[in-house]
Amino acid sequence: MSEPRNDLTAMTTKAPEDPGPGELMSALPHSREIGMRLHKSADGDTLMSVPYDEKLIGDPVSGVVHGGVITALLDTACGSAVMSIRQKLVSVATLDLRIDYMRPATVGETIYAQAECYRMTRSIAFTRAVAYHDTPSDPIASAAGAFIIERPKDQETTA
């Protein structure tokens, strides 16, 4: 059984290798509606993206995407990172999410979100994520999220 990484050092700031086009997240209606794409989600690491779309604009003058889109993306990426841990989970629900906005997103560019689940207890999963265009070291926003997890009844004591 793979464990989430427990190191508390800053998450990798290396840009991922070519993320490719990813897959439209068709199973989650709201994610699908926004146009979220899943590039990778395994062992507590998730990479997702939202291509630029005029319907997502928050500032009509500049054309910059609404912060709410980034909130939705980071929430989904953190939740997916928890789900991708190789442990059986019945459900995952966001408990809280903190987002710092470092700079506006660039008009016309795809926003990526890299998330990791770095610690898991019996009932809580701790995550962090960063939203960016080209590299996580030039972030648009960063997030820290706690998720409440429900394990299968028979695993509650052993996990």
Partner 1 sequence: MSRIDAQAKLEAERDAALAALTAVVPYNRFLGVRFDRLGDELTARLPFAEPLIGNPILPALHGGATGAFLEITALMQLAWDRAWVIMEEGGEAAAKVLSGKFPPMPKTIDITIDYLRSGRPRETFARAELRKSGRRVVNLHVSAWQDARDRPIAMLRGNFLVPDGG
**35 binds partner 1 per the rule CB under 8 A:** no
Q: Of the two residues 120 and 143, which places its CB atom closer to partner 1 in the complex?
A: 143
Interaction residues for partner 1, span 56-85 (CB under 8 A): 56-61, 65-69, 71-76, 79
Binding residue for partner 1, selected from 54, 134, 138, 150, defined by CB under 8 A: 54
**139 binds partner 1 per the rule CB under 8 A:** no
Rounded CA-CA distance 38/137 in Å is 21
Task: State the amino acid at position 47 in one-letter form.
Answer: L
Residue 56 contacts residue 76 (beta carbons within 8 Å): no
Rounded CA-CA distance 66/69 in Å is 6
Token pair 């910059």 in the structure block, residue: 64
Please, what is the minimum distance in Å from the beta carbon of residue 131 to partner 1?
A: 12
**33 binds partner 1 per the rule CB under 8 A:** yes
**98 binds partner 1 per the rule CB under 8 A:** yes
**29 binds partner 1 per the rule CB under 8 A:** yes
**30 binds partner 1 per the rule CB under 8 A:** yes
Residue 136 contacts residue 114 (beta carbons within 8 Å): yes
**Terminal-to-terminal C-alpha distance of the chain:** 11
| Burial tier of 65 (Cβ tally within 10 Å: 0-12, 13-18, 19+) | buried
Angle at 26 between CA 4 and CA 119, to 5 degrees: 10
Please, what is the minimum distance in Å from the beta carbon of residue 105 to partner 1?
A: 12
Q: Of the two residues 113 and 120, which places its CB atom closer to partner 1 in the complex?
A: 113
Q: Give contact residues for partner 1 (rule: CB under 8 A).
A: 27-34, 54-61, 65-69, 71-76, 79, 93-101, 104
